[in-house]
Structure 1
Amino acid sequence: MSWSETTLKLPGRLWAALGAQALAWWRSIYLTAVILVLVLSPSSYGRGARGMLLGQMYAQTMPVLAGFTALAALLCAVIARIVIVTAQSYGLSRYALDLVVRVMVIELIPLTAALFVAMRCTIPAGVQVVQLRMRGQLAAWKARGVDPIRAALVPRAAAGVFAAITLAALSCMVALVTVYWSVYGFSLAGFGAYTRIFGQIFAPSLTLVFVLKTWFFSLTVAVMPMASALYTPVARHRQGGAELGGFARMFAVLLLIEMVSLMGNYY
């Protein structure tokens, strides 16, 4: 193929790539809406569905709970020590505690928990959905009148949301204890000042932004791998690279949520 022919075909390829990306984004939004409706529907919690949901919640949360808690404690201790020592060297000790709490609890922990759940839980759950598609299980369920989204995706997505929120909440508590220990040691002398600073930081508006950010983080990491697993052609999954595209879209949404939360907190 000559250079001129390649140049003439480039706009068509570009438009095809943009159309594929737009379709992938639309399918992710559509699947999010469908899953939210099904999660809020009482008919999704029959006897078999409850057992499947509880099994997925246990499988996606318990195996990673202890490891992530230990990782969060270590990360908080290291970052808190670095920030405190740096602030002391510049004569800014009075701002060190405020800075550590804002950076660790409000910004870093929710994003870290979401990414950890995505890598260890929801992306592998998406791979399970792909395997069900390859075996024809989803098509068999649909032929029998069983909704594949309700049967396969809702329990995994709900369990992913639960895992992300649980890890974020537990890690925030661990971070608060670790930061206090890094500043005051094992003494209770600074408990009053610490709780006062904590109350000043978590104003109602900031608390609302924090809760919404954690919720949207958990929803993103739970649903977007499911959308990639359900709608991406099986041939692309066999060739590889489909999971990478889904992860890139998921990471872009996480960054967008983080940017919006930063504007809501500090502007």
Structure 2
Amino acid sequence: MRYHAHMPQHSFLYMKPGEWAAAAARSIMSWWAMIYLGAIAIVMAFSPSTYIHQNRITISRCIHASTWQVLPWFALLSALVCQVVIRIVVVTALSYGLSQYALEMVVRVLVLELIPLSAALFVALRSGLAFNAGAMTLVPAQVVSPRLSAASVTRVRSELVPQVIAAAFAVFTLAMVSSVIVLLLAYINVYGLSPWGVVDYTRTVGRVFEPVVTIGFILKTVLFGMAVAVIPMAAILEASRQARQLPSTVQPGALRLLVVLLLIEAGSLAIKYI
């Protein structure tokens, strides 16, 4: 019984059937609080009143910390990993006589699918899910209330919104820069340093990046950035409001963020290929 008392009480595995309805209601309210927080952050991010002088300085510092400081290392790591993958794909395609499909496969798999997802996971693991006791005090718990005081609105605009903007900007920037690097590596691996493959290369890449696919790629990357920016912050608020709850072995928001990213990726694949 002592062991059972220390287990997380929010898990369905350790609840009686009669408590499942209450647990489901709490889960729904938790998701609703996350959506509500995301709506507040997005509205404030597009509000001109957010970009006063002091907030612009804070946003610039957050973007510098979340994007510029890690961009060279992430670009280098992406280049190394993608170079290995590209080489494997090209050599395999040549061995089976399918070299004409190697470049298109690299662009579709790496640029359209893996690069945005890896950028979102990298930003989430580096900054979004780095919880500590001090981070939980950055935003007031009253944010999830339908009525916000003027002080709460000011604090959210000056402390929460810059972090959300920086996280979303980091995901989009890392994904775009890595995609350009991968496209350059793909050309070098397929055509070498010769300029005579530019026409064929441009035709193949243009065939992949149709207008609908391009819009979907940008939209998916933006959604990844919004998820990485909002879900960890919502988890911080939820953890700060539930001070009595024993800590879980999984970081707050990690599982929920993974589920949302997978749903976005699955929806993108379904729209493009079904």
Describe the shift of the 1:55–1:238 C-alpha distance in structure 2 as closer, same or farther (beyond 3 A): farther
Matches for 1:107-118 after TM superposition, within 5 Å = 107-118=113-124
Q: 1:169-216: per-residue Cα shift (whole Å, max 9, x none)?
A: 101101101111121222222111111101111111111111110110
The answer for unaligned runs of 5 or more in structure 2 is 2-12
Q: Distance in 2 between matches of 1:65 and 1:78?
A: 20
After superposition, the C-alpha distances for 1:12-68 in whole angstroms (9 at most, x for unaligned) are 332233222212211111111111111111111112111111111111111211110
1:20 aligns with: 26
Partner of residue 72, structure 1: 78
The match for 1:183 among 176, 179, 190 is 190
For residues 220-263 of structure 1, what are the alpha-carbon distances to aligned partners after superposition, in whole Å with 9 as ceiling and x for unaligned? 00110011112223555984338624111111111111011111
Partner of 2:161: 154
**Paired residues, what number?**
257
Q: Which moved more, 1:81-90 or 1:120-129?
A: 120-129
Q: Retained in 1: the 8 A contact 2:44–2:157?
A: yes
Q: What is the identity, as a one-letter code, of the residue corresponding to 1:108? A: L
User: What are the residue-to-residue correspondences of 1:92-111 with 2, within 5 Å?
Assistant: 92-111=98-117
Opposite residue 124 of structure 2, the aligned amino acid is A
Aligned residue runs from structure 1 range 152-231, under 5 A: 152-231=159-238
Using the alignment, how far apart are the partners of 1:16 and 1:124 within structure 2? Answer: 30
Aligned 8 A contact 2:34 2:234 in 1: yes
The 5-angstrom pairing of residues 75-94 of structure 1 reads 75-94=81-100
**In the alignment, is the contact (CA less than 8 A) between 1:126 and 1:228 conserved in 2?**
no
CA RMSD of aligned residues (A): 2.7
| Stretches of 4+ aligned residues off by more than 6 angstroms | none
Q: Which residue of 1 aligns with 2:40?
A: 34
Identity %: 42
1:230-245 alignment runs, 5 A limit: 230-233=237-240, 239-241=246-248, 244-245=251-252
C-alpha separation between the residues in 2 aligned to 1:243 and 1:42?
A: 37
Question: Higher helix share goes to which structure?
Answer: 1
- Distance in 2, Cα, partners of 1:27 & 1:252: 17
Match of residue 45 from structure 1: 51
Q: Is the 8 A contact 1:220 1:250 kept in 2?
A: yes
TM-score (norm 1): 0.87
**Where does residue 261 of structure 2 map in the other structure?**
254
Deviations 1:74-110 (A, max 9, x none): 1111111111111122221111111011001001100
